[in-house]
Amino acid sequence: MNLAAQLPVLPIIIPLIAAPLTILLPPRRLKGLLPYVFATLVSWIVFAASAALLHSVATAGPISYHMGDWAPPIGIEYRIDLANALVLTLVSGVAALAFPFSYASIRAEIDDRQLSMFYAMALIAMVGLLGVVITGDAFNVFVFVEISSLSTYALVALGAARDRRALTASFNYLVMGTIGATFFVIGLGLLYQATGTLNMADLKIQLAGESNRMVEAGFAFILVGMGLKAAMFPMHLWMPNAYAHAPSAVAVFLAATSTKVAVYVVIRFIYTVIGADFDFAGAAFNWLIAPLAVAGMMFASIVAIFQDDLKRMLAYSSVGQIGYMLLGVSFGTEQGLSASLVHLFNHGLMKGALFMAAACVVLRLGTQTCAGYAGLARRMPLTAAAFIIAALSLVGVPGTVGFISKWQLLAASFDSGRPWAAFLVVGASLLAVIYMGRVIELMTMREGAGGRTKEAPATMLIPLYILVAANVYFGLNTEMTVDLAERAAVALMGDAR
């Protein structure tokens, strides 16, 4: 076997085979360490493979892998360029931290007997998300979306051991997610009807110059379907409950990856499949995506201010952040696209860190209401410090990743002649100051009930601090993210022409 040639499928096939093996590992022997250690190792291998892919794509250009030796457009093609290599690294990187992180948290929150099943499902959810990102075949995207969604519904429902509302949250998510997937596949069907192909690159060629109602309807269906999955305003209502009631470790992984992957799909379809020069896409930018992005930014941030439940607040903040990403996309310029790719990556880092800190608090204090955070800086100083740094990053303080993505977004809005967008971005950031500041104020200024509590175990604190460090590192050293995102944006725009 030639490892280098097979590299593109390794992130998919390794966890896919590992997942059923995880089911066989005894969940109760050795305190459930076996499935945990096995799944963690798998996630690390996957991360190594993804990093190797990113390196190879950054130095040697896009990779195309033909499934079963069937040449595209007939066969399924895995096509990896800078844009998906970047998202791939984010997803597998967060997974490589979320799996080691999960042990103490998940053992406290779900039934021991379900531990092996939990890790198997988590691996499958990861496969699905990675597959969506890696594939170059439009229908394959749908298949992987379903793989990740179905396992995610079950993962969210596992929160029922702690709070029964997880069941309704999961069911809501199931209904909305299925509607989204159905819309997406209807859109694909229309495009297939128009062109007779499902390969993304081939679709682009076939659709060039084509502009009829069927293609337009197909594009609209795809946009709405993926918008639902991405929790694009106003289709976000499934998300706050799903994140708030899912087991804490699941929320970490989902918040940092799943909506980001859906945003990536939107970008991929707009640029690689439809082509941004397609009149209809241009109209969608100005009259649909931009207004909804702005509405999401403002509305979700305002709603976040009034949340009592910390995880719900973070989820509403995610809806707002998705707005930033879509706003960048809607500029239709290289800079805007690059800004939204940078933010996609950076937001994964900050939301991952915030949800991890929240999981530590749930483990030790058993609460996720904002009021429960009173005096946290004295009770759990390490966790509180991590939360504060991540929160500053979310607000966009210089020296953190949040600043980089907002700076990019501001620059892009001025350069594309949309100064109003810059003011809205700053306005939404001020709202973020209010909702994050409220919690920080509670943590640092107020006296909480009870004295100093034991910190979360090292298995949780180390991944948390690695993510926090990444928030600062990529905030100071922008070479990797911004540089790669700019090149990815140029390549995507090149695709579109």
Residue 209 interacting with other proteins (CB under 8 A): no
Binding track, positions 234-273, relative to other proteins; x by CB under 8 A: ----------------------------------------
- Locus of tokens 């937001």: 347
> DSSP letter at 137?
B
Residue 24 interacting with other proteins (CB under 8 A): yes
Q: Pick the closer one to other proteins by CB: 158 or 440.
A: 158
Return the closest-CA partner of residue 246 out of 125, 65, 76, 383. Answer: 125
Span of 12-20, 138-146, 237-245, 354-362 interacting with other proteins by CB under 8 A: 12-20
If DSSP states are collapsed to H, E and C, what string results for 194-242? HHCCCEHHHHHHHHCCCCCHHHHHHHHHHHHHHHHHCCCCCCCCHHHHH
Taking the chain, what is the end-to-end CA distance rounded to the nearest angstrom?
37
Report the C-alpha gap between 269 and 94 in whole angstroms: 24
Among 33, 37, 45, 67, binds other proteins (CB under 8 A): 67
Q: How many residues does the chain have?
A: 497
Q: Pick the closer one to other proteins by CB: 4 or 209.
A: 4
| 5: number of Cβ within 10 Å | 10
Among 2, 4, 59, 454, binds other proteins (CB under 8 A): 2
Q: How many residues bind other proteins (CB under 8 A)?
A: 19
Considering the complex, what minimum distance in angstroms separates the CB of residue 5 from other proteins?
8
Span of 9-17, 261-269, 302-310, 346-354 interacting with other proteins by CB under 8 A: 9-17
292 neighbors 233 (Cβ within 8 angstroms): yes
Among 38, 65, 103, 221, binds other proteins (CB under 8 A): 65
Return the closest-CA partner of residue 396 out of 460, 339, 316. Answer: 339
Q: Pick the closer one to other proteins by CB: 78 or 278.
A: 78
Residue 74 interacting with other proteins (CB under 8 A): no
Residue 164 interacting with other proteins (CB under 8 A): yes
Among 44, 51, 66, 397, binds other proteins (CB under 8 A): 66
Q: Rounded to whole angstroms, what are the CA distances from 44 to 21, 48, 129, 154, 447?
A: 17, 6, 16, 23, 41
Indicate the helix (H) or strand (E) that contains 64. strand 63-66
Residue 434 interacting with other proteins (CB under 8 A): no
Report the C-alpha gap between 405 and 459 in whole angstroms: 30
Angle between helices 238-245 and 248-268 (to 10 degrees): 150
Among 4, 59, 68, 279, binds other proteins (CB under 8 A): 68
Q: Pick the closer one to other proteins by CB: 75 or 381.
A: 75
Considering the complex, what minimum distance in angstroms separates the CB of residue 70 from other proteins?
8
Residue 113 interacting with other proteins (CB under 8 A): no
Q: Rounded to whole angstroms, what are the CA distances from 57 to 52, 77, 83, 270?
A: 9, 16, 10, 22
Considering the complex, what minimum distance in angstroms separates the CB of residue 152 from other proteins?
19
Span of 46-54, 93-101, 160-168, 321-329 interacting with other proteins by CB under 8 A: 160-168
Q: Phi/psi at 74 (nearest 5 deg)?
A: -75, -45
Span of 159-167, 261-269, 284-292, 343-351 interacting with other proteins by CB under 8 A: 159-167
Residue 59 interacting with other proteins (CB under 8 A): no
Q: Pick the closer one to other proteins by CB: 1 or 60.
A: 1
Q: Rounded to whole angstroms, what are the CA distances from 319 to 83, 124, 207, 351?
A: 22, 25, 32, 12
Considering the complex, what minimum distance in angstroms separates the CB of residue 241 from other proteins?
17
96 neighbors 43 (Cβ within 8 angstroms): yes
Report the C-alpha gap between 324 and 262 in whole angstroms: 14
Residue 6 interacting with other proteins (CB under 8 A): yes
> DSSP letter at 26?
-
Q: Pick the closer one to other proteins by CB: 16 or 222.
A: 16
Report the C-alpha gap between 497 and 206 in whole angstroms: 13
Span of 64-72, 240-248, 351-359, 415-423 interacting with other proteins by CB under 8 A: 64-72
Residue 33 interacting with other proteins (CB under 8 A): no
Binding track, positions 359-398, relative to other proteins; x by CB under 8 A: ----------------------------------------
If DSSP states are collapsed to H, E and C, what string results for 76-128? CEEEECHHHHHHHHHHHHHHHHHHHHHHHHHHHHCCHHHHHHHHHHHHHHHHH
85 neighbors 57 (Cβ within 8 angstroms): yes
By three-state DSSP, how is residue 369 classified?
strand
Strand partners, 65: 78
Span of 15-23, 211-219, 399-407, 471-479 interacting with other proteins by CB under 8 A: 15-23
Q: Pick the closer one to other proteins by CB: 6 or 286.
A: 6
Residue 4 interacting with other proteins (CB under 8 A): no
Span of 19-27, 237-245, 406-414, 442-450 interacting with other proteins by CB under 8 A: 19-27
Span of 63-71, 101-109, 231-239, 428-436 interacting with other proteins by CB under 8 A: 63-71
Which residues make up the interface to other proteins (CB under 8 A)?
1-2, 6, 9, 13, 16-17, 20-21, 23-24, 65-69, 160-161, 164
